[in-house]
Structure 1
Amino acid sequence: MRRLLLAVAALALLAGGCGDAGDDTGGSSQPQGASLRVTLGTQEFPEARILGELWRQALATNGYAVDLRKGVGPAEDLDQALQDGTIDGYVAYTGTVLSVVAGQDVTGLDPEETYAQAKEFYAGQDMVMSDMTPFQNKDAIATTTAYAEEHDLTEIGDLAGLDSFTLGARPEFEDLQLGLTGLQETYGLDNAEFAPVELGEQYTALDDGTAQAVDAFTTDPQLEGGGYRLLEDPELLFGSQNVVMVVGKDDLKRVDATAFLRVVDTVNSELTEEAMVRMNAEVTEGRSDEVVAREFLRSVGLDRPIRGD
């Protein structure tokens, strides 16, 4: 009887140590110590929420208790929250780190150059970046596939050969260097007529003929069907926007930097543009980001603990 009581007590202590992993998604079933508890933040849009879920679930599988705070705010708010200690890490885009947080120019920088400069900037802030994802989510110019084939369009500069065309984009895009102004200077698109189009309505504008080209993003869910084409940006006007996790240096030490980054980097290595477009499409169609992330991790074998070297 004494042995039975001791066993029951031990089980009660074990159950009491289980952590709650997030505001809105539930926690890991594994017992967690305070040293392995982390708080991550994301922006509000679907892709950022998916990325947060991918990291949360993979980290939970590997023994971490993760408090995931979705929709904290834009890049500036997330950076400030990390500096204030409100969060321990967040979903970041390398080009946004440079342009918005660091105030540096991103035009002409390839992914490796952008990553290196963002990493250097954050090192001066006592912050660390994970490896970057293969995919990028950045501004791009899109047309319908039919229009691109009809006019032999593969690069943005090919649009300069048209007599004229209408470019649809959010209103502020017209006067941005990373917008119509930059497109005119870099690619000679003086033949473009600008049409203000609310964010989210770009593809409707292409479909109904309001615009022949629009400002899009490289992981838009509408790209999954093949009806639209992204024109190449060989001059890298829009820079590079790979995803990284940014973590406070002291926080990283606390959670075992090698083990923690092994999990994050392994997840990141699986995130191709095709995979993100598909997951974005699923969430846009109404599936929860939690379920979409779980199914993706299972499909690439990351629903099991990752073994160290």
Structure 2
Amino acid sequence: MRPAPAARATGAALLALACLAALTGCGRAGAAPGGKPTVVIGAKQFTEQWIIGEMYKKGLEKAGYDVELKSNIGSTEIIDSALTSGQIDLYPEYTGVILQVLAAQERIPHSAAATFREAKKFQEQRGHGLTMLDPTPFQNKNAVGVKPALAKKYGLKTIGDLRKVPKVRFAEYPDNIEGAVGYTEMAKRYGLTNTKVKSLNIGLQYTALDHGEVEAADVFTTDPQLAKGDYTLLEDDKGFYGFQNVAPVVHEDVLKEQGPGFAKVLNRIDGLLTEKAVQDLNRAVDTVRLTPGEVAERFLKANGLL
């Protein structure tokens, strides 16, 4: 399931070209009936991003703005290219990812607030006319999950404690084997020489843990599967995964064109997104099988935004 390095690079390049080509002509669409340009919102390729993108779209439309949503764009690098080239106008991004992936910083700030400040400063100094709006209360961090029985057997409390296990098969999603917050760097940081990576798409790692196909897995802290207590999260005591609140990255000229009410709508939506709320929203899509649009609409109506 894991291609050779050259194949991965070629595949990633082709995917990036395909995704960006699909967006051509979508950014900065013509003026809406009200006279303001249509705003194009982007979202990455997983449940949480689809839901947030739908919330932005529905909330802004209710407030009278003309918007278009382009979901499932791809990885951080791909969606950032779409943003900086003007093919989309804004998208929700994780503050730590901005510093770790885009800014390639090795030093991780020691608080969520400091992470947001540095991420916003980075975006504003890039030369693309970008800024960031307010961050969410919740953060969605990568974490290492194991089954409680394994944690009890070997006394696992931190990621580094995995060294106590004779052999660890580690489930990682394909896009995150390498990279700033990927498996390879995590194993180096924690000195894990007894682990072997197993490439699995997002969501399949829980089934692999349940069936004993892997001993540990990269998970997200807002995954609905974590709500029942069937998995133990190991403490990231070295702070490898950083802080990951969500905030819209947006072109400054879009904010000026649309007026102050535009940012107020997005800030109000993001202010409602606690960790418990996002876990429930993700569960409604991944387990109950509602569409991201249905989930977003119900949430906004319940909170008086629709």
TM-score, normalised on structure 2?
A: 0.78
Give the alignment of 1:119-198 within 5 angstroms: 119-124=120-125, 125=127, 126-170=129-173, 178-190=181-193, 192-198=194-200
1:242 aligned onto 2:207: no
Q: Which stretches in structure 1 are left out of the alignment for 5+ residues?
A: 1-30, 304-309
Give the alignment of 1:8-27 within 5 angstroms: none
CA distance in 1, matches of 2:279, 2:201: 18
Cα deviation, residue 288, structure 1:
0.6
Match of 1:301 in 2: 304
Show CA shifts across 1:225-256 (max 9, x none). Answer: 32112222132112222211111111111111
Paired residues of 2:224 and 2:283 also in contact (CA < 8 A): yes
Paired residues of 1:88 and 1:247 also in contact (CA < 8 A): yes
Percentage identity across paired residues of the two chains: 37
Show CA shifts across 1:88-110 (max 9, x none). Answer: 21122222222333333364653
Match of 1:272 in 2: 274
Cα deviation, residue 54, structure 1:
1.0
1:94 aligned onto 2:95: yes
CA distance in 1, matches of 2:175, 2:99: 20
Match of 2:28 in 1: none
Paired residues of 2:172 and 2:183 also in contact (CA < 8 A): no
Q: 1:231 aligns with which of 229, 234, 250?
A: 234
Q: Structure 1 residues 85, 226: CA separation in 2 closer, same or farther (over 3 Å shift)?
A: same
CA distance in 2, matches of 1:267, 1:172: 29
Q: Which stretches in structure 2 are left out of the alignment for 5+ residues?
A: 1-31
**RMSD between aligned residues:** 2.6
Q: Structure 1 residues 214, 72: CA separation in 2 closer, same or farther (over 3 Å shift)?
A: closer
Give 1:99's aligned amino acid: Q
Give 1:262's aligned amino acid: K
CA distance in 1, matches of 2:109, 2:168: 25
Q: Structure 1 residues 159, 44: CA separation in 2 closer, same or farther (over 3 Å shift)?
A: closer
- SS class of match (1:34): coil
CA distance in 2, matches of 1:206, 1:78: 31
Q: Which moved more, 1:52-61 or 1:223-232?
A: 223-232
- SS class of match (1:237): coil
Cα deviation, residue 207, structure 1:
1.0
Match of 1:83 in 2: 84
Match of 1:207 in 2: 210
Cα deviation, residue 224, structure 1:
3.0
TM-score, normalised on structure 1?
A: 0.77
Structure 1 or 2, whichever has the larger Rg, is 1
Number of residue pairs the alignment of both structures matches: 271
